[in-house]
Chains A and B, each alone.
Chain A
Amino acid sequence: MRRVNTVVEGLAPSTFRRAALAVLAMLLVAVATIEGALAQPAPTPIEELLLENTELIQESSRRTIEPAIAAIADSGLEGADVVLQRWEARDLFVRESDGRFFLAERGDDRDTYNLFHVVTKEPMGTAGRREVDQIKPNSGIRALIAAALVKFQLTNPDPAVRRGALEALLREPSAEQLDPLRAALGRENDPFLKGAMERAERLLTVRFEEDEAKRVEAIESFAGDLSVEARATLNPLLNTTLKVSKEGPDEDENVARVLTPGSENLSFDAAYDLLVRRDLAPRIINAAARDAALVEHIENGMVAGVPVASLDTREARDAAYSRLEEQGAVTQTQTEDEIADLIASFTFYEVYSEPEAITGAVLGTIAAINRSVAGYGFLDIALDALSLASIYFLAAIGLAITFGVMGVINMAHGEFIMMGAYTGYVVQQFIPNYTASLVVALPLAFLVTFAAGVLLERLVIRWLYHRPLETLLATFGVSIALQQLAKNIFGTQARPLTAPDWLGGALVINDVVAISYIRIAIFVLAIIFLVLLLFILNHTRLGLEVRSVRQNPRMASSMGINPDRINMLTFGLGSGIAGIAGVAIGLFAKVTSDLGSGYIVQSFMTVVVGGVGNIWGTLAGATLIGFLQKGIEWFNPSNTLAAQTYMIIFIIIFIQFRPKGIFALKGRAAEA
């Protein structure tokens, strides 16, 4: 194979090269198919270029790759853009023996690759599986390749390609792209793309245009634009460097501000550090330096006449050091006053790297943007809080019925949520269409947990109506048994429960406020349940019976109501709702056997805080807890755990002062 290659190379003067190659290639293909081995034609120019850069390409590092990309992109060779695209798409393979590039496909058996030409896709023989390596550019390199491709693609007839090019351009913007972009802008017909290109042009103008007036104009055109892109372009223009000098700022420097040492923006220590770094002040002798000096001057177990063994306090060491100072053996330490005087003799100030015209325009534009960003940021937090509240509400609403209306503590409530989530998972195993499976899973989850609830009520809870504390314990037993059962059946690994595509994205209002559709769906579901339950409890026969059994079971039964049946149905209803909540929670988080136990304490608190026996109370409780938690998180965004801790502590204190919750039942019902 190798020999044929060299022969061909020797044979081919450039003019005849292609024709000769084509003939030869065809011949060789014919021969190869007979022999099962294949020789290859000489590299085409683009292949030669790749071969020249083979080391860089194989090294595949963003630090060194740029010359290789530039060489191909600027080569002007036909197929350069195709090669770049295939490189970006990870279609290139390199043969280890000679560093030549191909496209490759797995052969019929797993151990060979069929090779093809990088541009023309002509067959180029086969290679063993371990003889070729796939070139896998990382995303940093891919971004560079995409940026190099921009100039080929901005005028591509396919709008999707142009859009991709525009994205790539914004990801790796550079000054050279400004001209091709402006040229392409003139020729763009698609109105949407034209808008996007026009915006990209302004973004690039802000950064790379030389004409100051045009830049200012572009900067000001972003007034009120909340996008991260716009802010990411404007903010760096306000970068400053901290400077220090005796004379103060020069005339031509664009000073952002003068800093006073000792103020919030520049502590004395930081100011002095800066002076030391600029060699404007001597180092302060710190503890380590002092100790090092002491060790250096140990003679016969003594430092300046002080025995080493006695240097076991700071004061003793300082004293020994002063003695050394007196002997002139070490550098003088400075007093606080000396340091302060030295700092005071300098001016510290920050200087913009951009000229005043630009910074002025940016400051004017960005201030308004930042104000709206802060406002929208608050809105975003509020939406998150609302979403969290609806999740808590959904998890707790089943409890609001079983605990709130019936007074039954069901510690296995969390496990009903878990059962619902697993039902969703099982349904997805049988119905691969996510939308259809969701439509099936929601009612099925209700049925499954309704049945489980009725079973639990019949077998366990109805014997314990007069012993609420024991219900708590018995249902806890059910809870641990169910959790372990789920582990035994489904394994301990989390199971996938995937939302359909139409629930996949997020509702993006702007780059600050966005909320995922799945959270909106949960919110809607919570509202539906709220309305439904209010309707059932207040406007149906069942609701009437439930309320009457709750207030006085004996009186109710004498009115012809069967309390047994009502309790069973109510408990089933509460459990069934937990099942549906489980599907929703599984969709946005995870499906594991301990899914429910994470919600149980919070759910009980939601019900208790809101006021037992009242759906509105549960709503209020969930809202309070959701907003509280997000509010605390907002103050301390780096520690979510702390937010949860303080939220619970707040609730404990809250219940001390309002033991019956926000919506306390009054009158006779409260005693029931």
Chain B
Amino acid sequence: MRRSILSQPSVIIVLLLLTAFTVAVVGMSEAAGGTLSTSLVKTLGMTLCLCLVAIAMDLVWGYCGILSLGHFAFFGLGGYMVGMWIMYARTEQIVVQAAQAATLPPTPQEIRDAIGTQIFGVVGGARIPPIWTFADSLWIQLLLVVLVPGILALVFGWLAFRSRVTGVYLSILTQAMTLALSLYLFQNDSGLRGNNGLSGLQNIPGWESTPQSVVSIYFFVASAIALGAGYVLAAWIVSGKFGSVVRGIRDDEARVRFLGYQVEHYKLFVFTLTAVIAGIAGALYYPQAGIINPAEIAPIASIYLAVWVAIGGRGRLYGAIIGAAFVSLLSTWFTGGRAPDINLGFATIQWVDWWQVLLGVAFVCVTLFAPKGIGGLVDYVVRKP
């Protein structure tokens, strides 16, 4: 079974398509002398990250049946962790450079104070809070990208699964966790710059002389690799015996428990693993987006994540990719002001105003009439002949 993971047709097709797409985008990008604008490359790179977190969501919801409304919070946490390093390191460079002009060479404390003023001055603070202790080390922060969402998911999941909170209760509880986290981050006292969040993340320290068109390609390729790896990992997990147990839990938890499986352990593993994947996706996403703030983590974002997966088709990993890419790109197009208005004679439909309505209604329709989503359509087409 395990051997066959790379021989599964869907995995191969997805990997091939992804590779082809990556090569095409890189080849056509501005950096390579092509016509694809940097902003589009960034958008596509970010979309790949969203596809990765959608896969995580599909794993936890589509396969394991846990409708988590908190995975975008893990995604955001990953972004915060990497963002802290970017901000700190970038500011440190500026401060050190400015300090060279002073008569006395700066003490480490003076440098630290100046960094604090620089980063927190704009939000009415001056001191570096304790949670920034490791911000000067890229490696520790990268480790935290995995550890912080992972540990939060582990603790939360352990508590929740242990008390047998399931179904919609669990959804509401994860939503409450997301809300609490975003409210916490909204506070200025949280030490993560409150509502302002971390900004200027596209300027990676050490890459000052690299033009954004090239940086965007780096991140695009990294996102593509992460997505490919995430897909293979997810496919590997769901294909084995482990995958069968997980699907069993989704379909009838009590029965699997009676069969002697430690249901809680399986659920906890999937929950934590997907949180880690989400964190990594976030860490790749936000340097491309340029800014992260608590609004990103608001409960609604996690619900949208579920929407993408549902539209793409649950329980099939490529469905998650299709859903995330389709809806988020469509959303970009409709809000970009480039979608043509429809003139009905008595009124003009402007997509800016009606896109959300359309999305809402489309979502209801998909749930009612096409519970397998777009992925289901793909299955239908593929299996028909």
Contact = CB atoms under 8 A, between A and B. Distances in A.
Q: Do chains A and B touch in the complex (CB under 8 A)?
A: yes
Interface of A: 291, 294-295, 298, 308-314, 317, 409, 411, 460, 463-464, 467-470, 472-474, 476-485, 487-488, 597, 601, 604-605, 608, 639, 641-642, 644-645, 648-649, 651-653, 655-657, 659
Given A317-B107, A659-B163, A641 B186 contact: yes
Given A601-B176, A645-B187, A659-B163, A468 B168 contact: yes
Given A470-B371, A480-B360, A641-B186, A601 B103 contact: no
B189 interface: yes
6 contacts: A312-B108, A409-B168, A472-B171, A480-B360, A608-B173, A656-B163
Given A309-B105, A311-B105, A648-B179, A488 B363 contact: no
Interface in B92-112: 103-109
B356 A655 contact: no
B67 A657 contact: no
Residue with the greatest number of chain A CB neighbours at <10 A, chosen from B104, B359, B362, B364: B104
B172 A652 contact: no
Contact of B368 (A474, A639, A653): A474
B363 A477 contact: yes
Interface string B122-149: 0000000000000000000000000000
Given A295-B103, A314-B107, A659-B164, A474 B187 contact: no
B367 to A, nearest CB: 4
Nearest to B159: A656
Contacts of A487: 353
Nearest to A311: B104
Contacts of B300: 597
B299 interface: yes
A608 B359 CA distance: 29
A639 B168 contact: no
Interface in B27-43: none
A298 B104 CA distance: 10
A649 B167 contact: no
A317 B364 CA distance: 70
Interface in B249-292: none
Contacts of A314: 107, 109
A409 B168 CA distance: 8
Interface of B: 67, 103-109, 156, 159-160, 162-165, 167-169, 171-173, 175-177, 179-180, 183-184, 186-187, 189, 299-300, 303, 306-307, 310, 353-357, 359-364, 367-368, 371
Given A295-B103, A639-B189, A656 B160 contact: yes
B187 A460 contact: no
Contacts of B177: 652
B360 A312 contact: no
Contacts of A608: 169, 172-173
A652 B104 CA distance: 53
A477 B167 contact: no
A473 B306 contact: yes
Nearest to A485: B357
A460 B105 CA distance: 70
Given A464-B367, A605-B172, 6 more contacts: A469-B67, A484-B354, A487-B353, A601-B172, A645-B180, A659-B165
Contacts of A655: 163, 165, 169, 173
B252 to A, nearest CB: 14
A460 B176 contact: no
Contacts of B360: 477-482, 484
Contacts of B303: 411, 473, 476
Residue with the greatest number of chain A CB neighbours at <10 A, chosen from B160, B173, B186, B360: B360
Nearest to B358: A481
B353 A312 contact: no
